[in-house]
Amino acid sequence: MPIREAQAAHRLECRRTTVNGLSLHFRASTNPGRKEHLPIILIHGLASSHYMIPIAEHLASDFQVYALDLPGFGKSDKPRRVLNLAELADALAAWMASLGLKHANGVGNSLGCNVLVELALRHRERVNCLVLQGLTIDPAIRTTHQQVARWLINGRREPSMGSILFKDYADAGLRCMSLTFRHLLLLHHPIEDKLPLVHAPTLIVRGSRDPIASQEWAREAAHRLPHGRWVEIPGEAHTLNFLRRGNSPACCAYFLVQCLSIRPLSADS
């Protein structure tokens, strides 16, 4: 299911802004959204904002939506060295400031979940609610070969993502991809230790066929959050913001809207 920019032209447009000397590319909805809703920022995984277009389009009818290409990814400039998670979160906060986004809801997939958790810890004032789809680095399978094996399994379950990921990986470059993945694996303070410090209401979303984030890990992550809950979407794998068999990402978007409309969320098993 290749994405054509023209499909989203009536709701999304490409923009650029310069942050800390880097030209950052992002997609923004042309609809200002409802006045009572805070904006949504969409943060991609080891790819770019390209594959966030379906969920961005769906949410754009009610929310002002922004989907950033993180520094080094997609059409954004590459920094002199690969940024770690904390630096990516700082760059995200600086980008928000450049757009006048004082406070927003964050929706992340895969690596984007880790970046948003860092944002919530380092720039708490910027975050209202979080939706973390397709968590990475299950504590039970943290070795490199285990992670690679799970990613290969997921690739077979999401074949239509292949062409998108191949281009995005090529754009980012092998060095950026490998070092970013290494940052995820070798965290001195892994995400499970950081979740109890995230006070923003947070929804964990898992696809029932996701080989990367197990059901046990999704449940544990929600319980570690002070205001966390989790949901599982039947039949989906890791990149459920992009794929929906026979439909749009409507099911995922429904849960996102529910999460962003309710504050605070209570712990839920």
* Tokens found for residue 1: 């299911």
C-alpha triplet 257, 37, 229: angle, nearest 5°:
35
**The predicted structure's pLDDT at residue 107:** 93
Instruction: Residue 75: count other Cβ atoms within 10 Å of its Cβ.
Output: 16
**Residue 38 CA from chain centroid, whole number:** 17
Burial of 52 (0-12, 13-18, 19+ CB in 10 A): buried
pLDDT, one tens digit for every residue, the chain (269 residues): 333 343 444 589 999 999 999 999 999 999 887 777 789 999 998 878 888 888 888 888 888 999 999 998 889 999 998 888 999 999 999 999 999 999 999 999 988 999 999 999 999 999 998 999 989 877 776 666 666 666 566 556 565 555 555 555 555 555 555 666 566 555 556 889 999 999 999 999 898 999 888 999 999 999 999 999 898 888 888 887 765 543 435 555 565 566 555 444 333 43
**What range does the domain containing 238 cover?**
5-261
Assigned domain for 49 exists: yes
Domain count within the chain: 1
Q: Is residue 269 part of a domain?
A: no
Q: What is the pLDDT of residue 154?
A: 59
Give the domain CATH number at 209.
Answer: 3.40.50.1820
Q: In this structure, is residue 268 part of a structural domain?
A: no
Report residue 258: phi and psi, to 5°. Answer: -60, -45
- Beta strand pairing call for 228-233 and 202-207: parallel
User: In this structure, is residue 164 part of a structural domain?
Assistant: yes
- Give ∠ CA 253-119-81 in degrees, rounded to 5: 110
Residue 178 in any domain: the answer is: yes
Q: What is the dihedral of CA 128, 134, 140, 145, to 10 degrees?
A: -130
- In a domain, residue 266? The reply is no
